[in-house]
Structure 1
Amino acid sequence: MDETIGWELYRSFLGVLHEGSLSGAARALGLTQPTVGRHVAALEQALGQALFTRSHAGLLPTEAARAMQASAEAMASQAAALQRVARGFGEIRGAVRVSASEVVAVERLPPVLAALRRAHPGLEIELVPSNRLQDLVQREADVAVRMAAPQQEVLVATRVADMALGLFAHQDYLARHGRPATVDELRGHALIGFDVETPFLREARRSFPFWTRERFALRCDSDLAQLALIRAGAGIGACQVGVAGPGLVRVLPEAFELRLPAWVVMHGDLRASARCRVVYDALVAALRAG
């Protein structure tokens, strides 16, 4: 296959594939119908494959065209991403995709992002609350808040703070059931914890052997759902000290504290992007301030 095939040929190919006709593709792409036709013919010649057959319903894709579809759509997605990056350099305008854990995204970042939008109305924020690490090298996100230091050399990172985890219960729950004075007294309480054990939880349990799945009266793998259960007075569970909020009382602080180092991370290529840099700097400042 000729490696010099231009993106414009694949773009027209995708247009016909999606619209089912040269005229429909031309309208969608803002091109003339003869131009789209020339692009498709040139691509077929370069590949040595027929990509469409004519029918009363329009242009039907061949098996070769269907086989190419996923790769061509991936190219279109990458081209759109490149365009967004190019538009964003030098001006604070356009989309920035921010990834953070569920709790950080919901409990810590909204005021920061709201302030950013007030200061930069042209900025668009795509917030991804997920405990799965988004791949910054593959640009699943532009900026991320992580609880682990990045390993890839192409990423830039700033350590912002240690986020402490403790055991908490709502004051109403403690009024009904009493406050445990020792770890052993936790046996008489409704504990809120995980359902599926992860490598992180296995490592944490080395220091806190009493925190096991079998002892939980309520099990859930969503940190946000666990926090909601604690706030509802359902029992005693772990949450970040900085987001516990009114009504929650810390339990057994001397027996349970886990400190998570927090980092703000982005791809090194985005340092020159004004919109990504302003988001990165705002997250660093806010999370350092607590």
Structure 2
Amino acid sequence: MAIDDPGWNLHRSFLAVMAQGSLSAAARALGMTQPSLGRHIRALEQRLGVALFTRSPQGLTPTEMAHELLPHAQAMASASAAMRRAASAGFGELRGVVRISASEVIGGEVLPGMLAAFREQHPGVVIELVLSNQSADLLRKDVDLAVRMVQPTQQALVARKVGTIVLNLYAHRRYLKAHGTPQRPDQLAEHALIGFDHEPPYVRAMRPAGLAYAREHFALRTDSDLAGLAAMRAGFGIGFCQVPLAARDRQLVAVLADMIAPVLPTWLVMHEDLRRSARHRTLFDFLAEAMARYATGEHPGQRVR
């Protein structure tokens, strides 16, 4: 039996309830009344012929079918957002929306200066910047451009290696003055180390062999790289930082730089369908050049005093 197309509004309501966890919170997020949202959910269940939520005095609980359908609804949301961005300008015009994904540190500390310079040249381009250490799905077009520390393998993606970013251990001068500077890797155990709470795969791949740098060694554990960087700048302890980023802050001092220097190969990526779009191609080329300068330490950047 053919299923009557429920329409995007019903799927959007379903996504909101899944994301917010309740009808009331989802209704607020969508600017709807709770009864209207409830009607959307019932209409979607009726048209799909499945139960998406079990109802109780405590609220709605997603069924297994809801979890199974969720990725498909998310793909619809990504396609809808990509369509709106594509329609924001013609392919030959340097205006419209470009959505970029980058890690917390690249997106929060490195890209803003580059994007400001791009904006001066192309004020018609609107930027949407997504900060996440998880790789956005370019094939599904969650974003248009992405800065990645892992080489993409999908043939439908255009990828340009923009350089290799070196990392060192750093600490604030104030911390080193109070606690001394380690001269050997084994002396790190005597210091307050800043590191992850849950180890990401790229850390395991780049960690030097034999280095005592695991969760049990850390005095501060956080999965936010920006929080770790802020703690380093505050003088909490020793942590990893990108060398060209640390060079902007005179108060950060490299520790064991000649002994521990892992690297992050870096790529700029976009979907091949966007090569014909003037705004995407222009921003891709601009960021590729700027990121290449940054990786070699040539990007000027503003020093933090």
- Which range, TM-score by smaller chain? 0.7 to 0.9
The separation in 2 between residues aligned to 1:272 and 1:141, in whole angstroms, is: 16
Conserved? CA contact 2:93–2:278, under 8 Å: yes
Q: Based on CA coordinates, which of the two structures has the bigger radius of gyration?
A: 1
The separation in 2 between residues aligned to 1:101 and 1:76, in whole angstroms, is: 22
Match of 1:111 in 2: 113
Offset of residue 202 of structure 1 = 2.6
Q: Secondary structure at the match of 1:127?
A: strand
Give 1:261's aligned amino acid.
Answer: P
Match of 2:97 in 1: 95
Greater shift, 128-137 or 65-74, is seen at: 65-74
Offset of residue 79 of structure 1 = 4.7
Greater shift, 108-117 or 199-208, is seen at: 199-208
Offset of residue 104 of structure 1 = 0.5
Offset of residue 83 of structure 1 = 4.6
Identity %: 48
The separation in 2 between residues aligned to 1:74 and 1:182, in whole angstroms, is: 50
Deviation track 1:165-219 (CA, whole Å, cap 9, x = no partner) reads 1100001111111111111221221111111123222333452431121111111
The separation in 1 between residues aligned to 2:182 and 2:189, in whole angstroms, is: 9
Conserved? CA contact 2:147–2:269, under 8 Å: yes
Match of 1:147 in 2: 149
Conserved? CA contact 1:10–1:72, under 8 Å: no
The separation in 1 between residues aligned to 2:199 and 2:188, in whole angstroms, is: 20
Change in 2 beyond 3 A, CA 1:167/1:80: closer
Deviation track 1:36-93 (CA, whole Å, cap 9, x = no partner) reads xxxxxxxxxxxxxxxxxxxxx9xx6694544559989975763553253143411011
Conserved? CA contact 2:92–2:278, under 8 Å: yes
Offset of residue 145 of structure 1 = 0.5
Give 1:130's aligned amino acid.
Answer: S
Q: Secondary structure at the match of 1:141?
A: coil
1:161-200 matched pairs, under 5 angstroms: 161-200=163-202
Q: Secondary structure at the match of 1:105?
A: helix
Match of 1:252 in 2: 256
Offset of residue 132 of structure 1 = 0.3
Change in 2 beyond 3 A, CA 1:72/1:259: closer
What are structure 1's unaligned runs of at least 5 residues? 19-56
Match of 1:231 among 230, 233, 237: 233
Greater shift, 207-216 or 217-226, is seen at: 207-216
The separation in 2 between residues aligned to 1:110 and 1:194, in whole angstroms, is: 24
What are structure 2's unaligned runs of at least 5 residues? 14-35, 49-69, 295-305
The separation in 2 between residues aligned to 1:157 and 1:240, in whole angstroms, is: 22
Match of 2:79 in 1: 78
Change in 2 beyond 3 A, CA 1:222/1:278: same
The separation in 1 between residues aligned to 2:183 and 2:255, in whole angstroms, is: 8
Q: Secondary structure at the match of 1:214?
A: helix
Deviation track 1:212-263 (CA, whole Å, cap 9, x = no partner) reads 2111111111111111111101111111111112200000012211111110
The separation in 1 between residues aligned to 2:108 and 2:139, in whole angstroms, is: 24
Conserved? CA contact 1:89–1:273, under 8 Å: yes
The separation in 2 between residues aligned to 1:104 and 1:136, in whole angstroms, is: 18
Give 1:125's aligned amino acid.
Answer: I
TM-score for both structures, normalised by structure 1: 0.75
**Aligned residue-pair number:** 244
Q: Does 1:262 align with 2:263?
A: no
Q: Secondary structure at the match of 1:148?
A: coil
TM-score for both structures, normalised by structure 2: 0.72
Q: Secondary structure at the match of 2:135?
A: coil
Match of 1:221 among 209, 220, 223: 223
Change in 2 beyond 3 A, CA 1:288/1:236: same
The separation in 2 between residues aligned to 1:224 and 1:260, in whole angstroms, is: 17
Match of 2:126 among 121, 124, 127: 124
Greater shift, 68-77 or 135-144, is seen at: 68-77
Give 1:285's aligned amino acid.
Answer: E
